Amino acid sequence: MKKIIAEIGFNHEGDLKLAIEMIKAAAKAGANAIKFQTYRAADLALPSASHYQAIKRGEMSLEQHMELAKIAHGCGIEFLSTPFSPWAIDILEKVGVLAYKIASMDCTNKHLLGFIAETKKPIYLSTGMATLTEISETLYYLSEVKSGPVSLLHCMSLYPAEAKDLNLSIIPYMKELFGVPVGYSDHYPGIKACLAAAMLGAEVIETHFTLDITKEGADHYHSVDAEMLRQLVTEIDLFQQMKGTKQGCYNRPDRKYATQYRRGVFAAKSLKKGDTLRKEDLLLCRPTSQLKPEDLKWLEGRMIKQDIEEFQAIDRDAVENYASL
């Protein structure tokens, strides 16, 4: 099963009870992990920025992080968060996260990446806005500093992203190019882009999550709600069943029906010993027989050595092994 990360981000807008409700809803819908954002507003924007007050409402203390992580673990899903500063990494280390998600804005931020690398924990690295060269350089840097294993997340840093800009075909290309797992971090409304990414081989799917997509502010407008998340999980599970494995070509369950549904060679009418077979004397129909459709040319013009009833299978030993002149 692919890993499905429901990103609450700061959609809780500082309401701890709402955050808890969202965790429970995401877990019930089938997400493998829930993800928040760990920051102080001053680590992200200047106080004069238009969105400063909005993101400030999403700040959370260590104690709040601990409580949310406890709720997530109690629901049977992993607690993740995106750190935006060394302070945030310290918070999340105290919480005991098992992995780190890096926002696209920090894909090339070696200062922050260095602190995360020191934890040796797995990294989910969003690649929004980054060139292939920048991604390569970041992967090289993380390798040099011996970070934990890295998974790339293809991401289009547009809110919301448009279908024509998603370029999901880069998912298998990046997997081939960089030799690391590649997933998808979504900003496209609904679940269609996530499903398409899964079909193209994305190993991790991250999608913004809310309880109300009509709510103003934050990332609600391009998030999925609980019912949409449940549908996404169900559809991806179904796709995984459909996809199967390479071994499936060796043990395909329909193979046992081959003899029943493929064609054999039968007498189209009653034939007498000594008759010379003509095309109109032969019937190609189900089930299989000793002779196959490709034997039709071999049979034409040959003499039969015994009487053959109408609709009886014609065996090779019933036919002379030479063609009449």
Convert the pLDDT of each residue in 224-254 to its tens digit: 999 999 999 999 999 999 988 888 888 899 9
What architecture (CATH level 2) is domain 256-323?
A: Alpha-Beta Complex (3.90)
At residue 208, the pLDDT reads: 93
What 3-state DSSP class applies to 115? helix
At residue 217, the pLDDT reads: 65
CATH for the 3-244 domain, from 3.40.190.10, 3.20.20.70, 3.30.1050.10, 3.40.920.10: 3.20.20.70
Residues of the chain with CATH 3.20.20.70: 3-244
Whether the bond between 160 and the residue before it is cis, its omega within 30 degrees of 0, is yes
Q: Of 31, 25, 39, 179, nearest to 105 (Cα)?
A: 39
At residue 325, the pLDDT reads: 37
Strands 150-155 and 123-126: what pairing? parallel
Q: What is the Cα–Cα distance from 242 to 166, expressed in whole angstroms? A: 24
At residue 2, the pLDDT reads: 85
The predicted model scores a pTM of 0.86
Using only C-alpha atoms, what is the Rg of the chain?
A: 31
Residues of the chain with CATH 3.90.1210.10: 256-323
Low-confidence ranges of the chain (pLDDT < 50): 323-325
